[in-house]
Chains A and B, each alone.
Chain A
């Protein structure tokens, strides 16, 4: 049993704690991993902390409790931290809890991205935004993982906000899986530049724009260019359309879709690729940007959401992403070793400036301050 699991010594404490509420706790999921890291750091700091969920995941069931059980567990002085990313039935319940509430906001993808693809998800996203409006005014503090997200929190009515990046970015780096590196090297022989795109097969990620740019690149300057898209699909239609698009464009052998791989296998792809192309239209943070910079992989990205904030001067930021423009920018970057090296170096410096290794402890410090003061810890 893990620390903080139901029945553990710390989990059963009668001291005030900082408890985490998340609709679902999944492993290998950005919000899920962030929540688990935060829980572990709170426990390491000697602060009672449990994770309460709405919908159980069998894989994490031994470290979560149904949120209504908190009514039994509540201790005066508790602080409740809600991880905001999707809609949840627990929001209505949280709104009426007397404890101090902190929102840890991970960005809600606007419904318009899902609307043409999946009504259910689109409705859920719209409901999530409505729920955020209800909770924001009730929270003593809103924590965004980027200034972009903090802005969305303020727009929702959150009176006090601050920014602390995600606590689960893989630092120190997971080394590339040697078997995957060997296999990928074998496949790369005789091929052209390798583009990498990492992100769920969700419409806001706009993978189709990367595919269209690859199509142009292969038709013009770079016939051997190939692309790996790493990401799972939250709904079937968009991913199926991407695969159909690849087939229709005659790119079946040039585009590879990968999901469910280990951190080492993903690291092997970062290590082997020539460029990360990220043309997402809504990014609350952009973990792949950080991972690419950490692996010394240059970035070409569309300037949307928090992308510019995370990348800074350490990547090629595009204000438009028409296929020829993206293809041209990637081509120019890959054919200019000096610029490429400069960007890789800038990426390492940018990574240090972001201070992600402190993110978890920073977040704990902020929450401790909320718990101690009984009021907001942020400057409005």
Chain B
């Protein structure tokens, strides 16, 4: 990176704009820089910044989140590396006594190569699905119905993830339900927080910037009266869809309600560009498919509410007592 204290401010900013795109430090590399970015308030916004119209420090907030993810990732990597080294040492010791141990060595190498291939398969481009420009789920048709389906909850919070157009979240909050809004997209998250800050205290939504499945996985079992899923449930792969549903069901209290707001397949195909359609890991399931999947998950009563006005269907099911 070309940097010079004598460089005119506009050129310096031009170069810094690229430096900010690096994934940044890690436990092993540039750790001090990583920590500086985590602990230092926002630097001045760049004149080539792409976030016009959003909070000036949004970029830095996003960077801090990314850096912290990176640090955690590296902790895991270091532990994994230590384990690998230890295993290799054990194999080396074994080989001193048993010549056939080279077969074990070969198996480990083969396994390592398979893991590497698997990692490439899982994240071949390094693009997170949330980085695609996808339309927000228009859930307005169901905003009034969802509080009724949840029946006011049982005093336990309701998780809404992702936030889509916030209509469902607002309706639940207006109905006096304790709502947790979850969304991994910084822009959506900060916009929701700003909107909530302008609401009276009665609007009881809280927000978390995180992948929905991670948030659900972190919840105590049977601790939520309802879970409303949209957006993430559409673009996820089959395995990720099932992980989302399983995590939601685990978090629900007996009798709790799971609502899936899913995009109509034709509307989805028409709304997103070809590149996103090709590269996203998944596409929305047909409501009938969801009925089959949920029945397979042991849900006895599955209601399918097809879109009458919009392009979003609602699937409602309740966890058995």
Contacts and interface: CB of A to CB of B under 8 A. Distances in A.
A376 to B, nearest CB: 33
B188 to A, nearest CB: 19
Contacts, number: 75
Interface string A204-220: 00101101100110000
A240 B50 contact: no
Interface stretch (B21-29, B179-187, B254-262, B288-296): B21-29
Contacts of B2: 206, 209, 320-322
Nearest to A245: B18
Contact size class for B? Answer: 20 to 34
B93 to A, nearest CB: 16
Contacts of A119: 26, 28-29, 74, 77
Nearest to B27: A119
A258 interface: no
Contact size class for A? Answer: 20 to 34
Nearest to B26: A119
Nearest to A212: B14
A123 B22 contact: no
A179 interface: no
B15 A212 contact: yes
A117 B18 contact: no
Interface in B9-57: 11, 14-15, 17-18, 21-26, 28-30, 48-50
A26 interface: no
A116 B14 contact: no
Contacts of A248: 17, 48-50
Contacts of B123: 236
A116 B77 CA distance: 16
Given A115-B29, A117-B22, A119-B77, A240 B14 contact: no
Contacts of B127: 236, 240
Contacts of B21: 241, 244-245
Contacts of B74: 119
B98 interface: no
Contacts of A208: 1, 15, 18
Interface string B121-135: 001111100000000
B7 interface: yes
Contact of A237 (B7, B17, B23, B109): B23
Given A119-B26, A241-B21, 18 more contacts: A55-B113, A116-B22, A116-B23, A116-B25, A116-B30, A117-B22, A119-B29, A119-B74, A119-B77, A209-B1, A212-B14, A212-B15, A235-B126, A244-B21, A248-B49, A249-B14, A323-B11, A324-B11
